[in-house]
Structure 1
Amino acid sequence: MSNSNEVTKPAIGWVQRLSSDLRSQGYASILNITFSEQEADSVIGQLLPEFKYLLYIDADERKKYFIADYAGRNTVIKLLDRMIDQKKSARLNIDEHDRVGYNRYSGEIQHLDELKKMLLQERFG
C-alpha cells in the first residue's frame, strides 16, 4: 500500500485506495498541486459512510492529508515537524539580505505550526 496518492481525478478506484490507506494507516497523503478543497469535499462525501470522522488539511501546495484517527494524526504531526525542520534549514541558508525569502519561509513555518496546534486539539470520534 502506498501513502502517496497521485491524483488526476478522484475516480472510484483511487478513492478505494485512499480508503484502504486510511483504514491501515489512519491517514493518506495527496501529492498533487492541483488537488483542490472542492475535490477533497467530494472525496470526504464518498468516504463518510465508511469513516465516522475525516479531516482534510492542506500543509503546502504539494502535500495535503486526509486523517481518520489519532494514529494518523500523530503521523501527520511528525510529517509536519519534518517539513518545519526543512523550512528552518532552508531559511538559515538564504542570503541574509533576502528579506522576501526569509519572510516566506517564516510564514510557511508559522502555517505548519498552526496546523500542528489545530491537530493536537482535534477530537477524533
Structure 2
Amino acid sequence: MATDYLSEARSALEEQLKALREQEGRLERALAELGGAAPRRRGPGRPRGSKNGSGSSTPRRRRRRSGGTRAEQALELVRQNPGMTIPELADRMGIKQNYLYRVMGGLESEGAVKKDGRGFSAT
C-alpha cells in the first residue's frame, strides 16, 4: 500500500519536472527572440555567486619546504632502499602511515619518486 503511494507521488513529481523543463525551453526561446541572450548555466553544484570553475586571478600560495623535512628523510630512505613500501618507511621513520601517504603523494607529484607496485623508487 505504501509502495503504491510512493510510486504515484514519484510519477506526479516527474510529470511536474517534465512540464517545468518544457516551460523553461519556451521561456528561453522567447527571451532570445526579444533580443536578450539566454543566461549561461553554471555547472552542477556551483553556488549562485561564482562565475566559473577555472582558477582565480591570483595563484594559490604554496608553502615552501624547509630543510630536514619528512619528505627529504623519506626520499633518502627510498634512495638507499628502492622498493620500500609505506609501512616499511613509517616503521623506519617512526611516524604514522597516514601521514606518510601524504608525504609520498607530494614527492610523487613533484616527480622525486615513482610508485612501483606497492613500493617506491627514486627518480
- On whether the aligned pair clears a TM of 0.5, the verdict is no
Indicate the structure with greater strand content.
1
TM-score, structure 1 normalization: 0.26
TM-score, structure 2 normalization: 0.26
* Higher relative contact order (Cα pairs below 8 Å, separated by 6+ residues): 1
Structure possessing the higher radius of gyration over alpha carbons: 2
Indicate the structure with greater helix content.
1
